[in-house]
Structure 1
Amino acid sequence: MSYQRPPMPLPEELSMLEIGDKPPGHSQSLSTFLPAFRFARPPALPPRPPKPVGETTNNNAFYYDRLNTNEMSASTQADNIFQSPISTDAPLSMFSRISHPLSVPSNTTTNGKATETNKFYGNMLIGDQTNPAWTHPYSFYWSKDSYLGMAVSYISASQKVFASGSPPEYFFGPGGLRSFVFGAVDFSAVDQMSLGFTNLTHLQAHVKVLKNQNQFILVPLVQGMGFATAVYYNMIPKLFSPIGYKSVVGVTSPRSGIQKYKIVLQNNVTWSLYVTVPSGQSLALALSNANQIVGNKSVNGCIFQLVPDTNSAIDAAAGCYPNSGTLSGSVSGTTGQYTIAYGLSGSSNGGKTLMYACPHHVASFTSAMSSRRINSNLDSVTMGSMTGYLTQSFEMQVNVPSQISFDPYSAISGKSSPQYSSSVLNAISAAAQSEATGDVISDSNVDSMYTAGKVLAKYAWTLYACQYVIKNQSLVNTLKANLKSAFARFTANNQQLPLRYDTTWGGVISSGSSSQDYGNSYYNDHHFHYGYHVIAAAILAKVDAANGGNWLSQNKTWVENLLRDYSNPNSGDQYFPVFRSFDWFAGHSWAKGLFPSGDGKDEESSSEDVNAAYALKMWGNVTGNQNLENIGNLELGIMKGSLNSYFLYQDNNTVEPSQIIPNKVSGILFENKIDHTTYFGTELQYIQMIHAIPITSISSYIRSPTFVEEEWNQKLAGIVNNVQDGWKGIIMLNRALSNPSDSYNFFSGSGFSNNYLDNGQSKTWSLTYSGAFI
């Protein structure tokens, strides 16, 4: 992981500026109390839940600790596909137990569960804990300089920094631009602060900026949260703005107990601040200098909420924030539905909170969401403009590829079903005669789960062609036996870098160093690595069963240990985190594990993410686990929208900045940056095709014929003749997604060379896929 972010030419912060635009009647003294707030008669409140957090009746600091697991239950329909773990058994004993070199930070409550490694808040758990966590549209980070506390940043579209050139190679959100810092008078030195963590799941994290166990600022992190929220427990609030306050004016409040202010910062961004003071307590705020607002006393359970918008509709959500997310979903035919239900703390006039949805959410929202939408849009850095909703859930519906199995599939109109002519079958047979007898045992004997997985999958797809396309029993018997032997090295854990079970974070990791096998031992890329093994195992199990074998029953547990590592669907499995890789809010996976990153989590290969979900789907299909198959189907249905919004750029893409659309693919997509490059080189074929490999029966579902043809014409046609290695074969098999005849002619032509095959690609499969649709 040696990739370096581009330099950031903008200053970290604007210099401290004088307060301007004083409210009438106020002196120029910066110690003057802020204008008294006013409140209008509020509408009738909805029924209150029992004693929500933030409305304590005493000063018991542990009231929060008792209630912070309060969650609104999602719809738990009988067919909820997330209701059961794959297994609750301990990982196989062949995986030796080890403690990870990187420990979980102190003051972290895990409740005996595995700890997430690839989630949006991961930066806060590793390194010096000061790199940001992106919730979109905000980012948060621990501020330890002269502004002590939790920083919050909002980057508007106009602030994005683009590289020179046309199209620019990258853009990013400038780092270190703190809009505000949630601080406290009680913090006078950096060594008085520490971070604590509770409620760490795949959809939320509760972060405490601690002075001690009785005095802390709670910052609940939930993706899409509309307010940047901080709750003060037995502390005197101090709200910094390193940018500087230009004006602070009290305005009409939503109801008694909530103070509302309109804040204009020196960069002319206007924010609304809501301060909810618990019943029986009081708080007055004052400007103490150009950069800080200070409270006059300690408060317990007082909620500070910021949003860079003044739309009055937001008032209905003030005082309420999401404390958790609960995922539910179902699949029926080719329709998938999923809901993220948000547990709420506090209370609001509307009984809902404010959430911001990404473009792929909005495109798939059910009709029930339309009445919850408000006229408020905020910018994310890399996921486009976000839309505001007053809601307690996101409810979405997508088409899913239930009809796609192992057989080649094409999204080209009129070519969805494979058809093989006799000449194509002869060409496939000729290739298989050579490749089916290849040395898969030696080829997969490498020091990388990733490389080995690619090799096993290559031979598995060749086995598929031998069994179901050319139907050559002799070749099936030979290759099946060799593939079983190759797999046996891994299922016995006798490969060059055996796997181990990490008891610190909870996962199956390589015994290599952090720099070996693409950082597998630090949880990089597990869905890429293990997805190849799982899809290869699914094909082998299917073919073996068709020939009367029992390989599946003998190896099922080993395969599902890998699946549990990257795609455990339920917290009942305490040995692995829930959905280590896939992010159900972002709509795709994150590849970066336990490595700090100034730009957040990232993913380089959208297509290998697809392969991991496809492997989950097909393993569920082969084993008769309908929930797993449907989870895979649902992930693929979601990725069809998310990947074509954020990773793959058809000419009519309006989500990402127009300047970068001619790049056609993201390259590496971070939470804070899109960079048209790769971790392993800058050749154009690498950048484009890392989003295409491996090309399988699911590829055309994601990579539309229109996109593939545009990418060919604009990026690939001009370079393909100069590519003489395995990337040429990938380019030309990708060509089959829009022009199968050109692709087939390349692989069947007299000028074809095996040098053009990637180590995860066979000529047999390339002819099988392209030849199915000519």
Structure 2
Amino acid sequence: MAKNQSIPPYIFPQTQSTVLPDPSNFFSQNLLSNSLPTNSFFQNFVLKNGDQPEYIHPYLIKSSNSSLSLSYPSRQVSSAVIYQVFNSDLTISSKQGSNEKHVISSYSDLSVTLDIPSKNLSFLLVRGSPYLTVSVTRPTPLSITTIHAILSFSSNKSNTKFTFQFNNGQTWLLYASSPIKLSHTLSEITSNAFSGIIRIALLPDSDSKHEGVLDKFSSCYPVSGEAVFREPFVLEYKWEKKGSGDLLLLAHPLHVQLLSNTDDDVTVLDDFKYRSIDGDLVGVVGDSWVLETDPVFVSWHSTNGVKEESRDEIISALSKDVEGLNSSSIKETSSYFYGKLIARAARLALIAEELSHLDVIPKVRKFLKETIEPWLEGTFHGNGFLHDNKWGGIITQQGSTDSSADFGFGIYNDHHYHLGYFLYAIAVLTKLDPSWGRKYKAQAYSLVEDFMNLDSRSNYNYTRLRCFDLYVLHSWAGGLTEFTDGRNQESTSEAVSAYYSAALIGLAYGDPRLVALGSTLTSLEILGTKTFWHVEEGGTLYEEEFTKENRVMGVLWSNKRDTGLWFAPAERRECRLGIQLLPLVPVSEAVFSNVEYVKDLVEWTLPALERDGVGEGWKGFVYALQGVYDNEGALKKIRSLKGYDDGNSLSNLLWWIHSRGDTNDDE
């Protein structure tokens, strides 16, 4: 969200966290005065020793011991997990200088520049580039090693292109901006002193057409890339490039789906492909791409409305649920579970509004004021929001001293989840009481900006789009934690709900820019969810062995697809379904709009409910989706439930069931 000049910035009380890592270990000094990314595609490069790999399509990249290794990963597949295997196909370093750590000298939405100053090497890592681009900043003898055996080695007459084949079947091409003298042993290639640009690419197969493509575009290299929200539901990629000729990059399946058909400046090379855990990557030629997503129209209430004959049943449940609201009885201090409680209450108010049963709203409004204000005013006992200026963002009091508290919120885990629940409740209360909303507008917008800020150059308090990944087009939840498989996200539905809730904040405050940004990110997150998390029967994105046994993902990683959950094994299918549905809100319709898929998912899940000890809350979410195609059967099961998820209620389940389908029987 661009900074709104009418809203004075609100900064929660400053704190010095005792658990956050020191960013100065890997970021260059010129970057440390700005807020820094905490969920980025290159996060492993700046954590601990900085030596865990990151997936920068189509290669896994690893930096250690003053060298950079790249791998065109193979894939291991079972019915439970898919993961890419890192092997050091090529390791690039120089023969001079001391062994010193790398430095991040610049980064953007679509790129990161990793320098090894002691080796005179600068790696321009641009997402989706089939070439690894290396800038050798002064005359330096180079070393390229491999774990494989070099079977063949050849060059063109000008010594600006080299081809080498390994005993694992791979063929690599090396292009130099000026003649370079290379020699080799069985596993190492060395050069004389060279300065300039080196580009290295794997030849995806032996087809001479593919080598011709790589030859043709080898002289033009991207330096950085930005993603620009040009207008609602339109995202443009713009690359800064150097060299000569046209720019070749790779698009994953969701890119291809969204690429504008009217953009004559872009050419898709359908036959030029690299494999990827995210689906085949295809070549795209062009300096900028325009991606257009279908609109999602954010609203407070259900699309179809509640069936008139069902109002009495919902109102009966609503009266009981509202009667049970008591702010003084809340013992919860976790930002996540507390957020779920207040969002649950906010749902009751909107259900009452949709049913025109306004008598219960004053009690809900009172509850929301009593529960939200202490967090916004810094008077909540046992926890609260604080500001960290080391990385730039909101953390919690508990999280400032305990990295595991609040599910790691203090080390920037799950920010969109937690804050999304708070924003939902704040948006509803602002709708009900505009004067209250005006009083706390600055605090509300600070919560929004923590994970929705777009103004990275002038906003020193919050990083740019903390969770949303503008290349893969969905969010990541893992914060400042080093993982071998990179970033991860479990609950797509909570991510969708976060951007939806931010759009509701925009509606509540009459801010069309925030409505547009929130709606656009909601639409993209939904598409990412359907593409990568929803596993449809007969789908071809993942291998048949995995697809046959699964209908929904557990945790999705940059470099892995896992059926297990953080909190439950893969066998608990009801948990896998539920964590991809909660919270149950109007936008859930858009996430689960494919009725055939919903039916397959529920039928795949139902046998798991026969286990002893299955939680009633999880059953409720399964039955809610059953209601999409079997309204009466699901309603009967929901009426028999003995409990509900702490962010859900009988009122909300009945509202969902009774708002499926047409509202007018005569139509």
Q: What is the correspondence of 1:534-613 to structure 2 with a 5 Å cutoff?
A: 534-545=423-434, 550-571=435-456, 572-613=458-499
Residues in 1 aligned to 2:165 and 2:265: alpha-carbon distance in whole angstroms? 31
From 502, 507, 510, the counterpart of 1:621:
507
Instruction: Give the equivalent residue in structure 2 for 1:130.
Output: 51
Which letter does structure 2 place at the counterpart of 1:245? I
Residues in 1 aligned to 2:622 and 2:453: alpha-carbon distance in whole angstroms? 33
Please tell me whether residue 105 in structure 1 is matched to residue 1 in structure 2: no
From 282, 300, 307, the counterpart of 1:387:
282
Secondary structure (helix, strand or coil) at the match of 2:108 reads coil
Instruction: Give ranges in structure 1 of 5+ residues lacking alignment.
Output: 1-81, 410-416
Instruction: Give the equivalent residue in structure 2 for 1:378.
Output: 274
Structure 1 residues 511, 724: closer, same or farther in 2, change over 3 A?
Answer: closer
Instruction: Give the equivalent residue in structure 1 for 2:181.
Output: 284
Residues in 2 aligned to 1:183 and 1:696: alpha-carbon distance in whole angstroms? 52
From 682, 695, 708, the counterpart of 2:584:
695
Which letter does structure 2 place at the counterpart of 1:392? D
- Are the counterparts in 2 of residues 134 and 600 from structure 1 also a CA contact under 8 Å? yes
Instruction: Give the equivalent residue in structure 2 for 1:479.
Output: 364
Q: What is the correspondence of 1:647-726 to structure 2 with a 5 Å cutoff?
A: 647-661=533-547, 662-682=549-569, 683-703=572-592, 704-716=594-606, 719=609, 723-726=614-617
State the shift of 1:576 in Å: 0.7
State the shift of 1:283 in Å: 2.5
Instruction: Give the equivalent residue in structure 1 for 2:207.
Output: none
Residues in 1 aligned to 2:496 and 2:91: alpha-carbon distance in whole angstroms? 39
Please tell me whether residue 244 in structure 1 is matched to residue 149 in structure 2: yes
Instruction: Give ranges in structure 2 of 5+ residues lacking alignment.
Output: 205-209, 662-667
Structure 1 residues 97, 503: closer, same or farther in 2, change over 3 A?
Answer: same
Please tell me whether residue 429 in structure 1 is matched to residue 315 in structure 2: yes
State the shift of 1:466 in Å: 1.7
Structure 1 residues 715, 468: closer, same or farther in 2, change over 3 A?
Answer: closer
Instruction: Give the equivalent residue in structure 2 for 1:56.
Output: none
Residues in 1 aligned to 2:289 and 2:606: alpha-carbon distance in whole angstroms? 39
Residues in 2 aligned to 1:370 and 1:451: alpha-carbon distance in whole angstroms? 48
- Are the counterparts in 1 of residues 617 and 645 from structure 2 also a CA contact under 8 Å? yes
- The CA deviation string for residues 669-726 of structure 1, in whole angstroms up to 9 with x for no partner, is 1111111010111122212221111121111212222221110122225526853421
State the shift of 1:741 in Å: 3.4
- Are the counterparts in 1 of residues 326 and 367 from structure 2 also a CA contact under 8 Å? yes
Structure 1 residues 101, 312: closer, same or farther in 2, change over 3 A?
Answer: same
Residues in 1 aligned to 2:312 and 2:7: alpha-carbon distance in whole angstroms? 48
Q: How much is the aligned-residue C-alpha RMSD, in angstroms?
A: 2.2
Residues in 2 aligned to 1:765 and 1:654: alpha-carbon distance in whole angstroms? 36
Residues in 2 aligned to 1:364 and 1:139: alpha-carbon distance in whole angstroms? 25
- Are the counterparts in 2 of residues 85 and 570 from structure 1 also a CA contact under 8 Å? no
Secondary structure (helix, strand or coil) at the match of 2:102 reads strand
Which letter does structure 1 place at the counterpart of 2:425? A
Query: Which is richer in helix?
Result: 2
- Are the counterparts in 1 of residues 620 and 641 from structure 2 also a CA contact under 8 Å? no
Residues in 1 aligned to 2:323 and 2:651: alpha-carbon distance in whole angstroms? 12
Please tell me whether residue 140 in structure 1 is matched to residue 40 in structure 2: no
Residues in 1 aligned to 2:3 and 2:170: alpha-carbon distance in whole angstroms? 46
State the shift of 1:610 in Å: 0.7
Please tell me whether residue 230 in structure 1 is matched to residue 134 in structure 2: yes
- Are the counterparts in 2 of residues 169 and 675 from structure 1 also a CA contact under 8 Å? yes
- The CA deviation string for residues 294-344 of structure 1, in whole angstroms up to 9 with x for no partner, is 1111x3333233233343022222132222122222446xxx221111111
Please tell me whether residue 731 in structure 1 is matched to residue 622 in structure 2: yes
Instruction: Give the equivalent residue in structure 2 for 1:6.
Output: none
Higher Cα Rg, which structure = 1
From 100, 108, 113, the counterpart of 1:193:
100
State the shift of 1:227 in Å: 0.9
From 85, 102, 112, the counterpart of 1:174:
85
- The CA deviation string for residues 627-659 of structure 1, in whole angstroms up to 9 with x for no partner, is 211112212222333221211112242212222
- Are the counterparts in 2 of residues 202 and 580 from structure 1 also a CA contact under 8 Å? no
Residues in 1 aligned to 2:236 and 2:365: alpha-carbon distance in whole angstroms? 42
Structure 1 residues 639, 93: closer, same or farther in 2, change over 3 A?
Answer: closer
Normalising by structure 1, what TM-score? 0.79
Residues in 2 aligned to 1:514 and 1:86: alpha-carbon distance in whole angstroms? 34
State the shift of 1:445 in Å: 4.2
Instruction: Give the equivalent residue in structure 2 for 1:498.
Output: 384
Instruction: Give the equivalent residue in structure 1 for 2:112.
Output: 205
Residues in 1 aligned to 2:5 and 2:348: alpha-carbon distance in whole angstroms? 29
Q: What is the correspondence of 1:505-544 to structure 2 with a 5 Å cutoff?
A: 505-512=391-398, 513-544=402-433
Please tell me whether residue 149 in structure 1 is matched to residue 64 in structure 2: no
State the shift of 1:237 in Å: 1.5
Determine what percentage of the aligned residue pairs are the same residue.
21
- Are the counterparts in 2 of residues 569 and 579 from structure 1 also a CA contact under 8 Å? yes
Residues in 2 aligned to 1:304 and 1:88: alpha-carbon distance in whole angstroms? 47
Structure 1 residues 464, 86: closer, same or farther in 2, change over 3 A?
Answer: farther
- Are the counterparts in 2 of residues 98 and 500 from structure 1 also a CA contact under 8 Å? no
Query: Aligned pair count?
Result: 641
Instruction: Give the equivalent residue in structure 2 for 1:34.
Output: none
Instruction: Give the equivalent residue in structure 2 for 1:219.
Output: 123
State the shift of 1:584 in Å: 1.3
Structure 1 residues 87, 610: closer, same or farther in 2, change over 3 A?
Answer: farther
Residues in 1 aligned to 2:251 and 2:330: alpha-carbon distance in whole angstroms? 43
- The CA deviation string for residues 601-642 of structure 1, in whole angstroms up to 9 with x for no partner, is 010111111111111221112112212111122122223332
Instruction: Give the equivalent residue in structure 2 for 1:764.
Output: 651
- The CA deviation string for residues 74-116 of structure 1, in whole angstroms up to 9 with x for no partner, is xxxxxxxx66568895542435465763100335231621010
- Are the counterparts in 1 of residues 27 and 46 from structure 2 also a CA contact under 8 Å? no
Residues in 1 aligned to 2:611 and 2:145: alpha-carbon distance in whole angstroms? 58
Structure 1 residues 589, 330: closer, same or farther in 2, change over 3 A?
Answer: same
Secondary structure (helix, strand or coil) at the match of 1:399 reads coil
Residues in 2 aligned to 1:514 and 1:106: alpha-carbon distance in whole angstroms? 19
Normalising by structure 2, what TM-score? 0.91
Structure 1 residues 574, 580: closer, same or farther in 2, change over 3 A?
Answer: same
Structure 1 residues 443, 742: closer, same or farther in 2, change over 3 A?
Answer: farther
Instruction: Give the equivalent residue in structure 2 for 1:270.
Output: 171
Structure 1 residues 461, 443: closer, same or farther in 2, change over 3 A?
Answer: farther
Secondary structure (helix, strand or coil) at the match of 2:25 reads coil
Structure 1 residues 721, 296: closer, same or farther in 2, change over 3 A?
Answer: closer
Secondary structure (helix, strand or coil) at the match of 1:500 reads strand
Residues in 2 aligned to 1:425 and 1:354: alpha-carbon distance in whole angstroms? 58
Instruction: Give the equivalent residue in structure 1 for 2:260.
Output: 366
- Are the counterparts in 2 of residues 227 and 354 from structure 1 also a CA contact under 8 Å? no
Residues in 2 aligned to 1:606 and 1:641: alpha-carbon distance in whole angstroms? 10
Which letter does structure 2 place at the counterpart of 1:290? L
- The CA deviation string for residues 344-384 of structure 1, in whole angstroms up to 9 with x for no partner, is 13x13x2x222110100001111226852223100112x11
Structure 1 residues 389, 724: closer, same or farther in 2, change over 3 A?
Answer: closer
